[in-house]
Amino acid sequence: MIPGAFAYHRPTSVKEAVSLLGNLGDDARALAGGHSLIPMMKLRLASPAHLVDLAGVADLMGIREDGRDVVIGVMTTQHEVIASEPLAKKIPILRETSLLIADPQVRYVGTIGGNVANGDPGNDMPAVMICLNATYHVTGKSGDRRIAAREFYQGAYFTALEPGEIVTAIRVPAPAAGHGYAYEKLKRKVGDYATAAAAVVLTMTGGKVASCSIGLTNVAETPLWAEEAGKILIGSALDAATVKKAVAAAEAITSPASDGRGPAAYRTKMAGVMLTRALARAKERASA
């Protein structure tokens, strides 16, 4: 219940934050919404000697449109994602996903940045970002760079971030107008991580799938991009037989943990069921 002691820092600029993290090294953790980190600290599963609170860095907040992209500051809370008009209009899957994360209180404080950056395989946004082919703006002491979400996740709690780097914003290309989308999440109860979840974004032309991108949550050590499954569906009318093939391809890349949510074999099957249902809902929403 009681975390270990730490020194608290509250920078007011990205530069200051990065400098602090760079200098303090392994002993320091960035604090965003804190609703992943603080519970871990209370169980003493994490005991950073320094916390660098990003809540005072204005540049990390806000949602802006940049051409076809929407750029979301990492300190944007899930509540703000849900309330965002531009996101609701252009990238509605984000709102749908956000509403399935945790509970109302956690959504008021938890950030989309924390959700994408800490590498927890249970987080929902990573698979959605992979599905959307988002890019993360990263800053560290050696400067700025961008990392594709599809290249960001390396293992459980292992990302492509170098020591001292933080994600500052998430750049999401808006899917084409009239796209179909769905985030289908199987969970034991509200607030639980996914037993399995599937993110689907697709477009249809003349009743056939023109493009299809699929992300899977919590069925491996990292979020998964089911690239093969997506390819299989292109040109199809999402008929049962083709969907079945795509599901098989998606199931084949999973390697879930067995835990209270179920044995690995069950969770693999549930990834398939979630994908099937997400595809059906995405199809309903797509125009043409």
Partner 1 sequence: MNDMTPTSAGRAEKLQGMGCKRKRVEDIRFVQGKGNYVDDIKLPGMLYGDFTRSPHAHARVKKIDTTKAAAVPGVVAVITAETLKTVNLAWMPTLAGDVQMVLADGKVLFQNQEVAFVIAEDRYTAADAAELVEVEYEALPCNVDPLKAMSANAPVIREDIKDKKEGAHGPRKHYNHVFNWQAGDKAKADAAFAKADVSIKEMIVYPRVHPCPLETCQCVASFDKIKGELTLWGTFQAPHVIRTVGSLISKIPEHKIHVIAPDIGGGFGNKVGAYPGYICAIVASIVTGRPVKWVEDRIENLSTTAFARDFYMETELAATKDGKVTGLRCYTIADHGAFDACANATKWPAGLFSIISGSYDFPAAHVSVDGVYTNKAPGGVAYRCSFRVTEAAYAIERAMDIMAQKLKMDPAEFRMKNLIRREQFPYTSAFGWVYDSGDYQTAFKKAMETVGYKQLREEQKKRQEAFKRGETRELMGIGVAFFTEIVGAGPSRNCDILGIAMFDSAEIRIHPTGTGICRLGTKSQGQGHETTYAQIIATELGLPADNIMVEEGNTDTAPYGLGTYGSRSTPVSGAATAMACRKIKAKAQMIAAYMLEVHDDDLEWDVDRFRVKGNPERFKTMTELAWAAYHEVPPGMEPGLEAINYYDPPNFTYPFGAYICVMDVDVDTGTSKVRRFYALDDCGTRINPMIIEGQIHGGLTEAFGIAMGQEIHYDEEGNVTTASLMDYFLPTAVETPKWETDWTTTPSPHHPIGAKGVGESPNVGGVPCFSNAVNDAFAFLGSTNIPMPHDNWRTWTAAEKLGLHT
Partner 2 sequence: MAKSHISMTVNGKKVEELVEPRTLLIHFLREQLQLTGPHIGCETSHCGACTVDLDGKSVKSCTVFAVQANGADIRTIEGMAAADGTLHALQEAFREMHGLQCGFCTPGMITRAYRLLQENKNPTEDEIRVGISGNLCRCTGYQNIVKAIQYAAAKMSGVPFQEAAE
Number of chain positions touching partner 1 (CB under 8 A): 22
Q: How far is the CB of 193 from partner 2 (least distance, A)?
A: 12
C-beta of 55 vs 147, nearer to partner 2? 55
Q: How far is the CB of 194 from partner 1 (least distance, A)?
A: 12
3-state SS string for the chain:
CCCCCCEEECCCCHHHHHHHHHHHHHHEEEECCCCCHHHHHHCCCCCCCEEEEHHHCHHHCCEEEECCEEEEECCCEHHHHHHCHHHHHHCHHHHHHHCCCCCHHHHHHCEHHHHHHCCCCCCCHHHHHHHHCCEEEEEECCEEEEEEHHHHEEECCEECCCCCCEEEEEEEECCCCCCEEEEEEECCCCCCCCCEEEEEEEEEECCEEEEEEEEEECCCCCCEECHHHHHHHCCCCCCHHHHHHHHHHHHHCCCCCCECCECHHHHHHHHHHHHHHHHHHHHHHCCC
Query: Is position 105 an interface residue for partner 2 (rule: CB under 8 A)?
Result: yes
Out of partner 2, partner 1, none, what residue 188 binds, judged by CB under 5 to 8 A for its kind, is partner 1
Per-residue binder mask for partner 1 (CB under 8 A), 204-243, x = binder: ----------------------------------------
Out of partner 2, partner 1, none, what residue 266 binds, judged by CB under 5 to 8 A for its kind, is partner 1
C-beta of 3 vs 22, nearer to partner 2? 3
CA dihedral 261, 122, 225, 163 (to 10 degrees): -150
- 190, 240, 241, 284: which one contacts partner 2 (CB under 8 A)? 190
Per-residue binder mask for partner 1 (CB under 8 A), 89-118, x = binder: --------------x---------------
Query: Is position 58 an interface residue for partner 2 (rule: CB under 8 A)?
Result: no
Query: Is position 177 an interface residue for partner 1 (rule: CB under 8 A)?
Result: no
Q: How far is the CB of 186 from partner 1 (least distance, A)?
A: 6
Q: Which residues bind partner 1 (CB under 8 A)?
A: 1-2, 4-5, 44, 103, 186, 188-192, 195, 259-263, 266, 269-270, 273
Q: Which residues bind partner 2 (CB under 8 A)?
A: 1-8, 10, 31, 34-35, 38-39, 41-43, 51, 53, 55, 79, 102-106, 108-109, 190-191
